[in-house]
A and B are shown apart, each in its own frame.
Chain A
Amino acid sequence: MPRLSLKLGATLLGLTIASAALAKPDFTGVWGNYRAPGTAAPQRGAAQAPLPLKPEAKAKVDAYHALVDSRGDTPGGFCLGTGMPGSMLGSGGYPMEIVQHESVILVVFEAHAEIRRIYLGERANEEDLFPDRNGYSFGRWEGDKLIVETTHLKEAVDQGRYPHSANAKVVEEYSMVVNDDGTKVLTSKMTMTDPDFYTQPITAEKKWQLQPGVRLLPYECNEPTWEEHLDRLRQGGETG
């Protein structure tokens, strides 16, 4: 009998450990780009593999780049947020803050104070949705992984790496591990399916690391423009 109790206890303990391992993790906190110990910072402007764009989509993307590249114009230079999937894959190298609730996860990017909401539980009615640069994100927990599906995106040829049509769908799988040195690492594996723009799905992976003690700073980008405008008004340079 004692041997049976011991076995039962061990089984229960095993189940407890297994279920704890699959419990919903808490992603709340400020996250910055992950850099493996001893590795150099990634170089900007490094060569990238060509994208499997369809000819019509490539023509659109090329036309956009012909328009802006020589000037260096970007959405960010005009105080516009990145939008998906660029927001989640980098956001200019600035940190992001995740605030996790039961019904919604807020992802606040420092750059441009861009906010992404990942809804959990009840999905919005289709007629209440409209296209947006970050789309509409709906998530679900699968054990300790968060699966997020994003639709209702606007066509975005101005995405830094992965331009897409309005019919793009982005699926992300989030998981968190704790490294041997105690660093919490959040990994997002993204698959973007966009038959209007691409001949095959696009995949990418992004890693973030928790940055204890770091706070997100305000990022008010249009303030100088407003002040310059006021100055011109004061000088009588514009009437309206």
Chain B
Amino acid sequence: MRNVLAIAFVLAPAAALAHHSAIRFDLTIRDHMVTGIVKEFAPANPHTKIVLTVTRDVEYEGHSRNNYYRGGWREGMVKVGDKITLNAAPTRDGSDGGYALGIIAADGTRF
């Protein structure tokens, strides 16, 4: 029982990291483009994580992996080191980051 409780205790903070919300972003702005070098591209549900080196490393959130797939993204289309452009709704408070509404891959593919 002690082990079970210990595992539950350890997992609790990790579970909190599953939190995703688009409320930080101003989704009414649909034409904010940012170009950078991909440091990390992690397609996932419910939201994708993208780290782009612009002038410094900036983390972006994006649609779910499934929605990107239905929008045309396929495995291997975005790789570390690629120069890509995000159509990224900015944060409401002006801090770094944004919500990737769309992506232009290095080869020009849009999804």
Contact = CB atoms under 8 A, between A and B. Distances in A.
Interface in B1-50: 6-7, 9-11, 13-15, 17-24, 42, 44-46, 49
Contact of A222 (B9, B18, B22, B65): B18
A217 B23 CA distance: 26
A72 B22 contact: yes
A76 B66 contact: no
Interface residues of B, number: 25
A77 B23 CA distance: 11
A60 B42 CA distance: 37
Q: Which of B10, B14, B19, B45 has the most CB of A within 10 A?
A: B45
Nearest to B23: A72
Nearest to A70: B23
Interface string B40-83: 00101110010000000000000011100100000000000000
Contact of A240 (B10, B45, B49): B10
B49 A71 contact: no
Contact of A79 (B10, B11, B46, B65): B46
Contacts, number: 58
B17 to A, nearest CB: 5
A220 B15 CA distance: 14
B10 to A, nearest CB: 4
Interface stretch (A5-13, A137-145, A162-170, A223-231): A223-231
Contact of B66 (A94, A223, A240): A94
Main secondary structure of the interface of A (DSSP, over half): loop
A77 B44 CA distance: 12
A228 B64 CA distance: 18
Given A217-B69, A219-B66, A240-B6, A225 B18 contact: yes
Contacts of B49: 224
A229 B24 contact: no
B11 A229 contact: yes
Nearest to A45: B27
Q: Which of A77, A224, A238 has the most CB of B within 10 A?
A: A224
Contact of A78 (B18, B42, B45): B18
A110 interface: yes
A94 B46 CA distance: 11
B66 A225 contact: no
Interface string A75-105: 0111100000000000000100000000000
A50 B88 CA distance: 33
Contacts of A62: none
A219 B64 CA distance: 9
Interface of A: 70-74, 76-79, 94, 110, 217, 219-226, 228-229, 232, 238, 240
A-B pairs, top 8 by smallest CB distance, nearest first, are A72-B23, A72-B21, A240-B10, A229-B14, A77-B20, A217-B66, A225-B18, A221-B45
Given A73-B21, A78-B19, A221-B18, 6 more contacts: A72-B23, A221-B46, A225-B15, A226-B14, A228-B14, A240-B9
5 contacts: A71-B21, A220-B45, A221-B18, A223-B44, A226-B14
